[in-house]
């Protein structure tokens, strides 16, 4: 997160506080600073959050709702893409430390009304 926050425009985009800049300028600077699109960052954060919920014992259907997925197949597809496991496989894991990149906070996109 600190790496992403080095560019004030990127930090503002992550926080949902868009400055008086052209949308295309924001997109270019975000991509240049992070190597990812804003949409990709949002999808990764959502997959991480869903994984955290599943590891905490939240049901798959409740995870779908809490993480903002349309339905269970969308959750499954996202987790298989970003995490490499299905929701059921993640729930069966006994050691969350096997996925050290996960964090235990609510993703930024859930805290702010953003247009990223």
Mind listing the pLDDT tens digit for each residue in 30-76? Answer: 898 889 998 998 999 999 999 999 999 999 999 999 999 999 999 99
60 or 15, greater pLDDT: 60
Same domain, 50 and 94: yes
Give residue 30's pLDDT: 84
Q: How many domains does the chain have?
A: 2
Determine the average pLDDT of the residues in 6-35. 76
Give residue 25's pLDDT: 85
Reported residue count of the chain is 116
Domain range for 21 is: 4-34
Same domain, 22 and 65: no
Same domain, 26 and 43: no
pTM of the model as a whole: 0.68
pLDDT of 79 over the 70 cut: yes
CA distances from 16 to 8, 62, 75 (A): 12, 26, 24
CA-based nearest residue to 112, from 64, 45, 56, 60: 45
Same domain, 26 and 42: no
Residue 116 lies in a domain: no
Same domain, 75 and 42: yes
Give residue 114's pLDDT: 45
Neighbours of 41 (CB within 10 A): 20
Give residue 71's pLDDT: 98
């Amino acid at each position: 997160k600190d790496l992403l926050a080095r560019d004030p425009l990127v930090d503002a985009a992550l926080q949902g506080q868009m400055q008086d800049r052209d949308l295309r300028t924001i997109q270019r600077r975000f991509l240049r600073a992070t190597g990812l699109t804003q949409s990709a960052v949002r999808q990764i954060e959502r997959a991480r959050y869903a994984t955290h919920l599943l590891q905490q014992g939240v049901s798959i259907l409740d995870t779908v709702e809490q993480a903002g997925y349309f339905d269970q197949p969308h959750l499954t597809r996202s987790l298989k893409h970003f995490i490499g496991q299905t929701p059921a496989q993640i729930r069966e894991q006994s050691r969350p430390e096997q996925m050290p990149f996960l964090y235990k906070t609510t993703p930024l996109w859930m805290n702010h009304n953003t247009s990223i």
